[in-house]
């Protein structure tokens, strides 16, 4: 999940495909994985270390939120 320790993990079973996914944050790296551990998507590096991950609750489409120093980013997982 990057060249650093995985510091944050966020699990979601609410994808449009019905397949559970999880996100990992290691340093500036954010990755999306299948429930079987296959890398689905490597997001662009964040400007600084990721300090938090959270899935948007009750959303029609899954949205992952990542926070860094001075920035919050929203990621539409299915598009």
Q: How do residues 30-64 score in pLDDT, each as one tens digit?
A: 999 988 889 989 999 999 999 999 988 777 778 89
- pLDDT for 48: 94
- pLDDT for 3: 60
The distance from CA 21 to its chain's CA centroid, rounded to whole angstroms, is: 9
**For residue 14, is pLDDT > 70?**
no
The residues, any chain, with a CB within 8 Å of residue 19's CB and separated by 6 or more, are: 34, 35
Residues linked to residue 74 through DSSP beta bridges, in sequence order: 65
Which one, of 23, 34, 19, lies nearest residue 1 by Cα? Answer: 23
The whole-chain average pLDDT of the chain stands at 84
- pLDDT for 5: 79
User: What is the model's pTM?
Assistant: 0.83
E strands, 3-56, in order: 8-12, 21-26, 29-34, 39-42, 52-55
């Amino acid at each position: 999940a990057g060249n650093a320790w995985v510091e944050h993990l966020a699990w979601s079973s609410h994808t449009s495909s019905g397949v559970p996914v999880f996100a990992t944050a290691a340093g500036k790296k954010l990755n999306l994985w299948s429930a079987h551990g296959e890398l689905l998507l490597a997001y662009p590096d964040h400007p600084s270390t990721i300090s938090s991950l959270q899935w948007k609750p009750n959303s029609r489409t899954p949205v992952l939120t990542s926070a860094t120093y001075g920035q919050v980013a929203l990621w539409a997982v299915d598009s």
